[in-house]
């Protein structure tokens, strides 16, 4: 499955979808070189340090992203549990407007029907990078567009749910809790929900500096899970920067 991805695909997509930020990061050191001679020595030193800092943090973030999205086992899905899956057939992959996992998930669970849900709403989920990604890549065949408050599936009709780098786009806490309750409704009693995310923690601050504010803290995720009827069965680290929560319903037995 890892062969489905091209070399440098992950890091190149990050630059492509967030190009204004990287263009600005590259422009500031260039401008500094042009105006340095016209500045006082003190100001030149300050702006020089700032320019070097911007360049260094940008390069570091890209190196970390290359490790995560191109070198790690993230997109092989080999880290998923081998046992403990529901007896109820059916997999749902939920994303927030950019889907690069459904084909991989289909190959991981080839005998089970796969449903793909896109909850992206441009009036609520305003990340510009998602808009660029949606323009660049077509949706997976059969993708269903819906809201975070209503998923078009019967109660307990699916055995597996996957949310890979998607749920953090729901910035409103109440909307996120409603969404996870709705997923709880459609997943079987013995079913499993897999949530993979960056966390707002020290490792991601080192990697992405102020960009880590786009992620949610572990405490926030735990509150969301608890209030929507989920408990953590297992917690995995895929590199120091990515966390996967394997969730079961409250009251279910493993």
Residue 173 located in a structural domain: yes
Whether 3 shows a pLDDT value over 70: the answer reads: no
Half-sphere exposure of 166 (CA within 13 A, CB side): 25
Q: What is the pLDDT of residue 155?
A: 97
Whether 130 shows a pLDDT value over 90: the answer reads: no
Q: Residue for token digits 């630059």? A: 15
Residues 51 and 141 in one domain: no
CB within 8 Å of 83: residues ≥ 6 apart: none
Mean pLDDT of 56-71: 96
Residues 140 and 207 in one domain: yes
Residues 37 and 109 in one domain: no
Q: Which of 208, 201, 200, 190 is nearest to 248 (CA)?
A: 190
Residues 31 and 124 in one domain: no
CA R_g for the chain: 20
Interval 188-211: pLDDT, tens: 999 999 999 999 999 999 999 999
Q: What is the pLDDT of residue 134?
A: 82
Contact yes or no for 148/167 (Cβ under 8 A): no
Residues 213 and 129 in one domain: yes
Mean pLDDT of 116-123: 90
DSSP SS3 for 81: coil
Round to whole Å and give the CA distance between 160 and 190: 9
Q: Which residue segment(s) compose the domain that 96 sits in?
A: 80-249
Distances in whole angstroms, Cα of residue 234 to Cα of each of 8, 216, 244, 245, 254: 30, 19, 8, 6, 11
Interval 211-230: pLDDT, tens: 999 999 999 999 999 999 99
Residues 224 and 144 in one domain: yes
Residue 34 located in a structural domain: yes
Q: Which of 191, 190, 170, 189 is nearest to 180 (CA)?
A: 170
In this prediction the pTM is 0.90
Residues 55 and 137 in one domain: no
Q: Which of 44, 71, 98 is the last residue of a domain?
A: 71
């Amino acid at each position: 499955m890892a062969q489905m991805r091209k070399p440098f695909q992950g890091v190149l997509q990050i630059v492509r979808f967030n190009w204004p930020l990287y263009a600005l990061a590259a422009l500031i050191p260039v401008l500094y070189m042009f105006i340095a001679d016209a500045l006082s020595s003190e100001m030149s030193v300050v702006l020089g340090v700032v320019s070097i800092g911007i360049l260094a943090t940008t390069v570091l973030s890209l190196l970390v992203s290359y490790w995560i999205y191109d070198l790690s086992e993230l997109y092989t899905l080999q880290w998923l549990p081998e046992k403990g899956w529901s007896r109820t057939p059916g997999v749902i992959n939920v994303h927030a407007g950019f889907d690069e996992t459904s084909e991989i998930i289909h190959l991981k669970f080839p005998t089970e029907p796969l449903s793909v849900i896109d909850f992206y709403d441009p009036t609520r989920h305003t990340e510009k990078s998602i808009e660029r990604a949606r323009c660049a890549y077509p949706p997976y065949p059969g993708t269903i567009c819906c809201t975070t408050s209503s998923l078009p599936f019967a109660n307990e009709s699916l055995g597996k749910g996957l949310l890979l780098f998607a749920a953090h786009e729901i910035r409103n806490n109440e909307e996120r809790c409603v969404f996870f309750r709705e997923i709880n409704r459609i997943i079987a009693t013995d079913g499993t929900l897999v949530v993979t995310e960056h966390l707002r923690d020290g490792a991601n601050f080192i990697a992405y500096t102020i960009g880590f504010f786009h992620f949610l803290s572990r405490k926030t995720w735990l509150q969301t899970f608890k209030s929507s009827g989920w408990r953590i069965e297992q917690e995995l680290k895929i590199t120091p920067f990515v966390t996967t929560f394997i969730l079961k319903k409250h009251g279910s037995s493993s």
